[in-house]
Each structure stands twice: as C-alpha cells, then as structure tokens.
Structure 1
C-alpha cells in the first residue's frame, strides 16, 4: 500500500506528515484525521515528507499501534475507529492510518475541519464554516432546517398563498378534502400541533416582509439575455408558492415552438424547453437549495435557446452527475420537499430528474448538462438543437423513462450500442438494462445480436446491404465462412447462415466443404 500511496502523492484523500524525530504533535494527527473523515475519508501517512521522500517515524518505539488507535478513538467526536499498520521502506518505519468517511466528526475540543484546496492548489485542512456545518447536517439527515419551529403564528402567512396551497393539495389528494384548513396545514407541516409556523411553512406561503427577516438569503433572480446583453430582469423575495406560480407563467412568455413533427396523423409541436422538464428543474432549484448559504436562485433564459438554472449548495451527499438517474434521492430540506410533493407541484416519487432527461431526449436534444461544486448546482438545457428523425421515432410511443433513454442513446449512436454503453448511459446495472431491452424487443423496437442492441431500421438496412458486402469480400479473398459473416455484419451465426443460404439459392454463391471446413465461394456464373 505504501508504494501505491507514494505514487499517488498528496491529494484530497492522501496526506503525508514528516515525523523523522518524533516531533509530530498528536493534536496535528487528530486534526488531519478529522479533516479527512469530513471529506471522503483517506490515508494519513506518517514518516513521509510533502514531496514523497520517506524519512521514517520513531513513534512505534514508544507507542503500540493499539495505543495509537485508542487515543484517536478517544480524541474524536463522534468516536472514530481507524485502521493502522506499519510498513518499512529503506529500513525506515512508516505508519499508515486509513480514515473512514464520517461526516461531521470533530476533535475532542470541538474543532470541525474539512479537506480543501488553498491558494497554491495544494490540499490542506480548513475550518468548517457554520453554514457548511448546517449543510452537512441536512446532508446526513441529522438536521432538517425547514422543520424548525418558529415563534410565529398563522398571522405570518400570506392568505392568497395559503388558499392556493390548500386548493392544490385537495385536488391532488381528494381523501384530504374533508379536513379543516388547520388540520390540513398541520399534516402538510406548515403548522406544528401547538400552532406555530415551521420554516417550511414560512418559505412556502409566508408574508414577504417576515420571510425576508427570517431567511435573508431567500432570493430568486430571473434574467433574459440577448447574447451578452441583459434585456430583462426580475427579482423575487416572495414565498415559494408565489414565485413558483410566477415562474410557470413566465415559461409561457419565453418559451416558443421551434418545429413540428407529424406522426400517424398527429401533430407534435417541438417546444424550446419541455414543460415538464422546466417545472421539475424550477422546483428542484427552489426547494433543494441550501438556505444556509448566501446566494440567489437564478433562472437565465437566452435568446439563442439556452436555459441555465442555478441554486446555492452542491448536490446532496452521495449524489453525483454519474449516478443522478439511479441513486435513491434524499432531499436536503425534507419537510419542505414533502410539503410540495403533497401539493402535486413536484414529482411524488422524488424521481423528477428523470423528467428533465426525458424532456430533452424525446426531441433528440442534447441531454441535461450539470455544473456542480460544493457551492452551487447549475443545470444547462439546450433548447434549439433538436433532431427531427429521433423525434419522429420516439414521440407518441409508450416508453417508460429508461426505455426512452435507451432508444435515444441507440439513435444517437448511429443505430446500435453495446450493453455496457447502455448501462452507462441510463446509469443502471447491466442486469436491469437487459430487462428494459427485453421489453423493447418484445414490442419490435430493437433487436439484440452478438452483445449489441440495434434499432430495427438499422438491422434491416444492414441485412439489405449484406449481400453486396459479402460478394465484395468473396471477390477479394476468394471465399467466406459463416463466422466471418457473423463478425462482419455483427449478427448471430444463425442469421449469418440464413443470409448465406439465400445467396446460394440465388445462384450467387456455392457452398463447398462440410461442417467446420464449410466455405462459400462465387458460383461459376458470377466469376
């Protein structure tokens, strides 16, 4: 392991510490371990200089590994149990401490540290700021800021917003229609059983001046650009119900049709931005933003057809661009998210991101682009770049999201894709992808052959051109075998045999040899 860590060098998950004379303070060891635990975990290597030179440590002459492990356990909160072992390099002892990921670990005296990068681009340990601690608490479900009980009553709520909230909830959940308004507000989490407002309730439907007093970072900015020129701007500080309603109305102003497809007598207009994708993207930005970080939600429409939506706070813990379609979602603000789910404003299953991908894919547009760091999330949708041929194939078909994305990927990959490529594209295990392929194959949309998946038009075209390809090969080489045809056309051996038999029946080829020695040559007439 030491040799591998030396090759890697210092990084966000590896820290070297010099200890050639045993001068390294144990407090420094603890702080480094806490720093690594609060990031992604990693390795503390004691007895190595910053440049990777092994100088060794005499520490094991005075302490055992078990004693060091016990001291680390005692000096961290919550207690951290690490793996420790020693390795030798050039007759020098090196101590390696493997640190597990354990979000919100502190030193015994209350220091919270995180792994970061300083001005020289070198990894280092930095203090966790108060707002970062709050964010991590919500990441790990230890604290839901929006569930906080405020010293406010119903008089702090905006009546039109309350009326709209109750109306949409009852329409979405008819079984709640017979409840009184106060009972329903308590179920939604707007009110506590004592009649206090929660932060979620204030954010959802509070009066603007009171909301600004309690959540000064709440702000939504809408911009419209023509090139680099800002043509229009609106700034909102109202509650989320009001802002969401306004942004939905704005969609009707800025959105436009960019083309049409007629399929089976039905006309499909191609929108600049898909309505459901827009709703989900907007609601995600408003509801899942980090309210402990200063910053605004921004919605930027561009005349050239782009829509960029940004919100403060990175992805919640565990979510990345590479698993966003498959990971079980956990909201940063659970009570606020649940409130909006019950109203029907956001996807009940929490899988609204699927709608954003589908909203681009069904028109043959580029898939969503994510720009993410620990301070913000930006979603970029490109609206004007659409593919008419893909739209004609996908629109009007009864695809579930995974099937639609599989079809999109195959069409954008020139009509065929491997199982591995499809697994990566829809972020599902290969075994699960095979199930979706089977569903598509049963309905005649695709054909799986030799590990690849083809759309039926591609397979048909390949078969139609196969005869010419085979004849040219035989003219060049003198003969062809069934396995060569299967490999050349990327079809199964049985399909290859049927194509060759057809050429023999037409008098274009002649079969010679038997079993494993069978070859196909040009018929005398063709020579």
Structure 2
C-alpha cells in the first residue's frame, strides 16, 4: 500500500466531516447530485469529495461511466456559477478505483447552473449534511469572507434626529478618557457622525449606519432594527446565579455599565519588587477590556444571541455569536492579520481609544494572563458559531511575576512570545523547539531564535545539540524560587555524571539499551545515542546487535 492510498484509507475510516464527503457510484451518481455536493463543499470550507465510497465508508469503486475522469473538472466548471475549478485525482484503494475531487473554498457564494445554493452543516449526532443556503444567511457568509461590511450598511427608515445626542457626549468623553483620536473632539456633531461613519447619505436622505445605530441609537431603536444585539453579564457561584443582567443599551453605554460590574469583582493584593509596589489582580483589567470589546465588535449581528460575560468559581468567560472570521483559526490566532467581521464598527472603537489601535489586542489578553504566571487564555470552546475565551481564576505565581517585572525594568516589556515560552516551561519543565512552535504559532527558526535570546538573558538553559536540543528554566530562577532539587531533576546531570550512571547501570544489570539511557539520564533518544557512542569510542563499552535490538555491555 503506497503512502497516498494509506492516507486516504485512514481518512475514510474516520468518516465524513464538514470537509469530507462520500458519494456512492455503484449506480452511476447523477451529474446533478455530484454538482450539488461540490457546491455544498465550496460554500462551506471546501474539502474532498470521494466518489466511489459509500456513506458507511465501504469502498465500492467507480461506475464504468466514470472510468475516465478527464472530463470531470470541465463538467463541474460548466455546471456551477461562478465556475468552480476542482482537481480530480484517481486513486486505487483495496483494489477499487475511486476519485478524489478536491473542492476549494469559494470566495463568494456559488450555486449550481440551475440556481441551487447549498452549504454543509453538522447534525446533532456529529455527521454532516447538505442543506439549502437561505438568503438571510448570505450576509453571514459574505461578512466572514470579508466581502461586505454589515456595520457600514445604512439603516433605512431611521431619521438622524431620532438618535440619542447624549451618546455623542459619551463618545467625546471616552476619547478623552481612553486617549482616542483627539482631532475628533473639535468636530461638530454632524461632522463627528460623518468622520466616524456613524451616518451617511442614502437615497437622498441622511440616515445612520448599523455602527451608528449601535453607538447612538436608543434602546427602542436597537430592539426594532438590530434585534440580535444583546449583552449579558452573569455572576455564578456554584449553581446559584448571583447577578444576571441583560442590556440592549447603546454599545458604549453598555460597555461602561458592564465594566463597572466587572471592576466591582476585581480583588487586588500587592507585592514589593525593588522600589515598586506591584498590584496583583484576580482578573487583569486590560485583558478583560480587550476580550469584551472584541466580543462586542466582532460578533455576528445577523445571528441571534447575546454577548455573554460570565464570572464563575473557575474564572471569567466571554463569548459572542459568530465563529472566527475567514482565515483565523485556533492555530494562528496570535499571528493572523487583524480582521473584523464589522470593519467600520471596529474602526470606530479604535478611534475612540477603547481597543488596541494596532489590532493586536489578542496579545494583551495573553499578556494579562501569562505575566502573572497564570494559564494562557483558553479559546478551545470556540466553534463555527461562537468565539469563546476563558480566563482561569488561579493564584498568581509571585516569583514568575517578579521575574517579568524586573525584566521590564531592565530591558523593556517582555515580548508575548517569550512569555508563552517561559509559561510553558514553568509548567512542563523541559521542552524542545518543536514542542513550543504550536504555542508561539511562528516558524521553528523564529522560536529557536527567541529561545537563544532567553538563554543569553539568563532565563533559560539549553541542553544537548541539534534538533534534540532541549530547554529548561535556568538554575538562577529555580534557586530564587527555593527549588534547587527540582532544577537538578529537570536539568539532568553533567556528561561525566551521565557516563558514570550508565556504567553503574551496566555493572548492576549486565547491559543497557538506548531507551534505558534516555530514561536514566533524562535525555532524548539522539542524546542517549551520542552518550553511548562516546563511551564506545573510549573503549569503555561495546555494542552488541543492531538497531532496536542493540545492547551495550562493558568492554572486557
């Protein structure tokens, strides 16, 4: 079995998913059904259509009419609008010929030539299905792809004089308070509305945009024209609900009221670091602000559901309707280019000063957790319909915080990449460059360079060479925390000690394997190999057998 066949067989055994569709060809799959399946994949996330495989994963092969696949890409392109360019690959699996049709994710809505629009979704049992793509869902798809800006759309039937003038005063006060764009303060009300895109001319009349209504509308107007808009603040203690407030007020007023409720639940203690008193809150205010503003601004206003802020026994959770925008995933959250589902609204909030103007507010959320020695913010509960972040309410690591504060005093603020690396090593003790790449979400070369800088500044120690090189927190950090014995366990032993340990093991047990050396001396397999080779070259031990059967004994 070749590698390609093996990979396809593994995917078939895992079953259908949003990005994998099986189609039986025993009775010659009709062109209409084939095109509909391709359209559904393209209108979701793209993926593979395996022609010649039953729904249960049984491989039955292609019908004789599909023996030649040369014309299939042209058929699909001619029967879709706009045309979808697929790649077709013939594969033989378990003696049967099947076709792998790779369908790219469409950058716009795609239908069959007959006008049929479909998309894929998961049923309650986790299996996928193709369902009609309804007109009211178009805006969700287009905004997630960055094709339209829902927040910039005019709200017809709402006169400008119906807006709440007090909200403009609130915007001006926020600019002063949060250090927003000071040039906005000199503008008259109608000029401010135009500069921020809160109102625009439409069909000869001046009316608010969706962003304008969110910022300046009354509660009545918001209920009527943006029914999906709602914010919930809840405090839970066990199964008891202590606070359960819901808001439909203008966005800035809602933010200020929820922030007051949040601040009332922030508890602080202080520690002395050098000449400074450093506060340690149970929840970082800046991290909360960025996470809450992100939820308000990037939510999907075409999908019913509230932005939820929940404080429970285990920590703070903030969620909003609408999954990540196209191109943003859990695997690239830290490095993806800043994008919003509602660009105009995001721009308004940044110009007011309420959000990070560089678009890297996610870094502040991470920093607000990691600098105190707490776990990184957890986005793992996010899915296609919701973005959710959880910030654990755990005790701060005071020694870790002192280290971060002193670094900032001497060398400037510690980069978020370094914080992530130190945080992981604090919890997992010894890691390689490859272990850290998924957490930092940058290239192996970048992570290695960051690790070496941390070694140079005395935060880390390196062990070994090449790809097997590992890193631990430095002895100075362990000693400072009063954990000398823990450092010895993690850092391992020097080469002479390692050699003596191997020889003592052989003297006691007669022989040793490479796996035994790795376990005994806390080494990686390549490091254990080089240790044994060094002893063999010295003539101290000899090798018996080859590869995984090799053992090492004393040289007589």
TM-score calculated relative to the size of structure 1: 0.83
1:130-181 residue CA offsets vs partner (Å, 9 max, x unmatched):
4443211101111111110123343232222211213434642234444444
Deviation, 1:92, is 6.2
Deviation, 1:229, is: 0.6
Preserved CA contact (<8 Å) 1:366 1:385: no
Structure 2 CA distance, aligned partners of 1:422 and 1:109? 50
Q: Is 1:127 aligned with 2:160? A: no
2:149 and 2:344 in contact (8 A); partners too: yes
2:501 — aligned with what? 473
Contact 2:59/2:93, CA 8 A, preserved across alignment: no
Matched, 1:45 2:50: yes
Distance 1:126 1:274, change over 3 A: same
Q: Which residue of 1 aligns with 2:530?
A: none
More deviation in 422-431 or 189-198?
Answer: 189-198
Deviations 1:172-209 (A, max 9, x none): 22344444443332121112256421111111222111
In the other structure, the counterpart of 1:293 is 303
Distance 1:349 1:140 in 2: 21
The aligned counterpart of 2:16 is 11
- Measure, in 2, the Cα distance between the counterparts of 1:431 and 1:409: 18
Classify the secondary structure of the residue corresponding to 1:40: coil
Identify the residue that residue 495 of structure 1 maps to in structure 2: none
> Is it true that 1:227 corresponds to 2:238 in the alignment?
yes
Q: Secondary structure at the match of 1:141?
A: coil
Looking at structure 2, the residues matched to 132 and 318 of structure 1 have their Cα atoms a distance apart, in angstroms, of 19
Aligned to 1:187: 195
Alignment match, 2:531? none
After TM superposition, the structure 1 = structure 2 runs for residues 431-450 of structure 1, keeping only pairs within 5 Å, are 431-450=445-464
2:172–2:185 Cα contact (<8 Å) kept: no
Call closer, same or farther: CA 1:230–1:77 in 2, change over 3 Å.
same
Rounded Cα–Cα distance in structure 1 between residues aligned with 2:21 and 2:81:
21
Post-superposition shift, 1:245? 0.9
Deviations 1:434-474 (CA, angstroms, capped at 9, x unpaired): 33334434433334443233333268855997599569639
CA distance in 1, matches of 2:260, 2:359: 24
Shift of 1:291: 0.6
Does the Cα contact within 8 Å between 1:43 and 1:97 map onto a contact in 2? yes
Does the CA contact (< 8 Å) of 1:57 and 1:94 recur in 2? no
Q: Which residue of 1 aligns with 2:344?
A: 335
Displacement of 1:362 = 1.1
| Counterpart secondary structure, 1:43 | strand
Report the alpha carbon displacement of residue 226 of structure 1 after superposing the two structures with TM.
1.5
CA distance in 1, matches of 2:170, 2:234: 26
Q: Give the conservation status (yes or no) of the 8 Å contact 2:77–2:83.
A: yes
Q: Give the C-alpha shift of residue 477 in structure 1.
A: 6.7
Q: Which residue of 2 aligns with 1:253?
A: 264
Check 1:353–1:473 CA distance in 2 against 1; reply closer, same or farther (3 A cut): same
Cα displacement (A) at 1:341: 0.8
Please list, as runs of the form range in 1=range in 2, the aligned pairs for 1:113-192 lying within 5 A after superposition: 113-119=118-124, 121-151=126-156, 152-169=158-175, 171-192=179-200
Residues 92 and 355 (structure 1), Cα distance of their counterparts in 2 relative to 1, 3 Å cut = closer
The answer to whether structure 1 residue 57 and structure 2 residue 63 are counterparts is yes
Question: What is the distance in 2 between the residues matched to 1:292 and 1:187?
Answer: 25
1:506 is matched with none
| Whole-angstrom CA distance in 1 between matches of 2:115 and 2:538 | 78
Q: Secondary structure at the match of 2:293?
A: helix
Tell me the number of residue pairs that the alignment of Structure 1 and Structure 2 aligns.
488
Q: Aligned partners of 1:380, 1:260: CA distance in 2, in Å?
A: 24
Task: After superposition, give the CA deviation of every residue in 1:101-124 in whole Å (9 maximum; x if it has no partner).
Answer: 215322223322222233554322
Give yes or no for contact 1:76–1:105 (8 Å, CA) kept in 2. yes
1:315–1:66 distance in 2 versus 1, CA, 3 Å: same
Would the aligned equivalents of 2:328 and 2:336 in 1 still touch at CA under 8 Å? yes
SS in 2 for 1:377: strand
Distance 2:229 2:309 in 1: 14
| C-alpha contact 1:57 1:92 (8 A) present in aligned 2 | no
Query: Where does residue 26 of structure 2 map in the other structure?
Result: 20
Q: Secondary structure at the match of 1:196?
A: strand
Q: Does 1:99 align with 2:98?
A: no
Kindly report which structure 2 residues correspond to 1:346-357, keeping only aligned pairs within 5 A, or say none. 346-357=355-366
Cα distance change, pair 434–156 in 1 and its aligned pair in 2 (3 A) = farther
Three-state SS of the structure 1 residue aligned to 2:425 is helix
Distance 1:441 1:21, change over 3 A: closer
What is the correspondence of 1:109-508 to structure 2 with a 5 Å cutoff?
Answer: 109-119=114-124, 121-151=126-156, 152-169=158-175, 171-192=179-200, 195-257=206-268, 259-302=269-312, 304-370=313-379, 371-398=381-408, 399-414=414-429, 416-450=430-464, 451-456=469-474, 457=476, 462=488, 469=497, 473=501, 476=504
Cα deviations by residue, 1:216-238 (Å, 9 ceiling, x for unpaired):
11111111112101122211100
